[in-house]
Chains A and B, each alone.
Chain A
């Protein structure tokens, strides 16, 4: 049986959803909510003859990091690709809502609650988005998650951790972008449209979905770090993610806000710089963007270890009049 100490050095990529949830918070502090013993399975999958799971492919619960409540939703990619159905989606929504309700309660009991002592929410993404077999309910659940994320803003920091096999795609790609802070490993992938669909739309010459290196360069952690979509890039271990998470949790709410990639008019203007760059640069490959960002030999970054990459990689920066330095 894996102990919490074992989990810290374990690969995040290979860990299952429950191991990630347990290992991301302080030792022995995780309490699972709506766990497998509750048998809250999908009512829809059996009608289509599809296998069910007791937790519907998501581990939800609460733990502590330095005595601070951390509400976690951790998706399991091995169950139908971590896809979001009615129960799975409701568990994620409820996790965020519990964090927010807890914040309101703590704030009421203690109006001078320091802004880095309230609850936080962490989503460990591993999903392709909506679950086809119950797609309408999955889609509606996504909209509820977005609603909760907006409601949490300025109150409950919501943090994305991405470093699992399936990556984070489809509607959950929006949700990850909408969080306050994102932490990825080089094995994490984040995007909207999966590689096969891009190939189908654009042809194999433009995008060969079987080229794993190309797939990683386009949506992987290193690219997302250079682009600014990942605030932090960490090694592939549960302990590295936990360490970064605890650093982030010591920040003030203003500092957390400064990590946002989207969510204001100013940030829209900043993102539009990238859209304009897309038109002028017309990159054939992410490496063209890495070069533009100041990495003279982008090819050399591909195989660098995480720490070497972090010491040399230059990130995309735009000089904008309205941007704070």
Chain B
């Protein structure tokens, strides 16, 4: 082992970044983990457990577990709310960060949640998804402008809220970099006929994940009742040359079917239909899992296009019946759009900063020396695959900086 610990910079605090940071720290490397949002965990920390009476291997629990490990690892220093403004490479990497104001003092906050209780409806205080987020709450600067500043500052019994906090700058020197900036979920408003953003009971698969995580079960956004009839539309934003997204997102069949079964498990009377073009095999025991799905769920090989409003927040879907070829209308209580993975919206900027390439689809590709990629920044992946690639990136980074046993 070298005398002075080497240092790695990990960009992105989602499951890939967390895993890479953790693995590097296990090899006695000091890690600077930089996350742009106020919370660690990325998209996947909002995902729910999809177990029925048994685990279905979605890996959502792994994210909480890894997050807990990372925040208790002294070799990992986390900077939240930080964007990389500039990177200099002269043998080592020097990253200049713009760090958002820390309106909540992490040292003083004890996660009592009073600020959130008082201000949740205003959007001025938001809560993270994992108890392992510290602080568990953050002030949303934009929404905070519309509330009584003195009241917000005064709500904290520990005096941890400081609305006068200023943005800061920070420089980090590192021997190697792991880029794990993740993906941007497909924007379902780009498929306007589904009425996403217009009709409250049209939600994305990711929103359903968060809903189940928070409520413990599947409920309709409008009335918080379990839906009697739910439709999942697959491949929303994936496998679509019109949108320039000619790839399978590799996660939507898995999460869609797992959550569809969870609905049936909680409420065997509920009806669930899955509209699809090809069901993808994901996971070790997929054939057995899919057999169960076929027993419990309806499958229609036809992608609906039109969604019309009905009474009581229901929606009428129009599609071509497989057997007769005729137009068929069917009414659902909840419509879930299984949205896909698209390249991170700031991938071009990230590529520029860290001397990376982008592939034809816009995902990142390794190019420069000493910069390694992990997770969905490099292409669609599920949680286990992101973790595997993050471990690999860590091992490559260790080789690059010459850390061995």
Q: Are A and B co-members of a single complex? A: no
State the B residues within 8 Å of A (CB): none
